[in-house]
Amino acid sequence: MPELTRRRALTTAAALAATAGAAGLVAPAASAAPATGHQHGSPESFDEVYKGRRIQGRPSGMGSHHHEHGGGWSVFVDGVELHVMRNADGSWISVVSHYDPVPTPRAAARAAVDELQGAPLLPFPAN
């Protein structure tokens, strides 16, 4: 079996995102734990510097196609949108750390920064 590389994981994540978009799937509206550690309600907006990178997240409108998969959230790393998706169990994943679910959009942004290891986040085309 071939070794799993970051390139292969990102290619798979991009293909899954494109497939989900083509199928018109919408992430469920289950609630996730907010950054405060409580187990109810919605995640909180955030704007912070994490490991020298500015990460931001806030609720977004559901009007455009590429926001549907983000569970109503827009997340940014250094001003570049990080595509996030909410899983059925309320956990979150991103196109960068697709195989490592986390409890909040803030945690997804932090996981992406960790995975990028200083590399810039490149814009993800939304068809």
State pLDDT tens for residues 75-84: 999 999 999 9
State pLDDT tens for residues 22-66: 444 344 333 334 343 434 457 889 999 999 999 999 998 654 444
Domain annotation covers residue 102: yes
Terminal-to-terminal C-alpha distance of the chain: 31
Per-residue pLDDT averaged across 16-27, rounded? 50
The overall average pLDDT reported for the chain is 76
- Reported in sequence order, the residue ranges of 1-127 that DSSP labels E, i.e. its strands, are 46-50, 53-59, 73-77, 80-82, 84-86, 92-94
Give the number of domains in the chain.
Answer: 1
Q: Higher pLDDT residue, 70 or 117?
A: 117
45 vs 55: CA distance, rounded Å: 11
State pLDDT tens for residues 84-110: 999 999 999 999 988 999 999 999 999
- Degrees to nearest 5, angle at CA 11 with 10 and 13: 60
Yes or no: say if 20 and 71 are a contact pair by the CB < 8 Å rule.
no
| CATH (domain of 76) | 3.30.1880.10
Domain annotation covers residue 7: no
Structural domain for 84, as ranges = 26-116
Q: Which of 75, 12, 1, 20 is nearest to 45 (CA)?
A: 75
Domain annotation covers residue 44: yes
